[in-house]
Amino acid sequence: MHNHFNGLKTAGLFALIWVLLLGLGSLIGGGRYIWLFALIGLATTFYSYWNSDKLAIRAMRAYPVSEAQAPVMYRIVRELSTAAGKPMPALYISPTPAPNAFATGRSPDHAAVCCTEGILTLLDERELRGVLGHELMHVYNRDILTGSVAAAIAGLITSVAQMAMFFGGGSDEDRPNPLALLGMALLAPFAAMVIQMAISRTREYDADEDGATLTGDPLALASALRKLELGTRRAPLAPTPQVVGASHMMIANPFRAQDVSRFFATHPPMGERVARLEAMASGRHGR
């Protein structure tokens, strides 16, 4: 178990988002149609999960690179994946000066790691190793599945809420108190989005910790995160729908601070992440 109980936090957040879904579903048609929304949610989850690598790579306009084109990146990823006993993922580079990196794919056998040109310029080799260790742990921890499920359930809640607003919750005998229905329809999507973002932030803490364990160098990742905080401020990405959809996979929030509030941030504050890594390096982690 992680010292900060991130696994338990993730399970608790998933429980909350399911409570929201079931509570909203119970208001519509006496809950008789919730199975239909569940099937739609499962289909959406499966599609997003199965195609997660293609969707994220396309959003960042990334291109595959050979070992001759990116020898340092290849060497680091090969060493880390070998140490973890996992297959070598496909490697990509995104042609953007915004410094960032992400990993995606439905399993370690179908994974991709992408670095932007900006991060390859910004970080030294030791820091890059820390970042790549973090990204590989997202794949090994199955965080792509976790994120896909959370996004699908949050989207399903929003769809159910919109149907409740338009159709009023079913026949007269099934229709609930209109104020309760209105309140749930308005608040449930907001709450689901907040929970989805909290799940993403929790998985970032796990990837930091596990990635630092894989590389054996927490301070390298801490140093990289400090540089990335400044680098993303200087060269933010535009919050287009495609990039927003992939932003939760990135190691650092790619947008300007004014484009996203902390409430809806997919990443924990950099200061907290760095502090945890420094505590881990000094042996104070989890005490």
Residues marked active site are found at 135
Closest CA to 29 of 219, 172, 139: 172
Segment (H or E) for 112: strand 110-116
**Do 145 and 89 contact (CB within 8 A), yes or no?**
no
Place of tokens 């995104």: 94
Nearest to 38 by CA among 161, 168, 153: 153
> What gap in Å lies between CA 231 and CA 235, rounded to an integer?
6
Q: Identify the DSSP state of 262.
A: G
According to DSSP, the residues that pair with 115 across neighbouring strands are 93, 101
DSSP state, residue 250: B
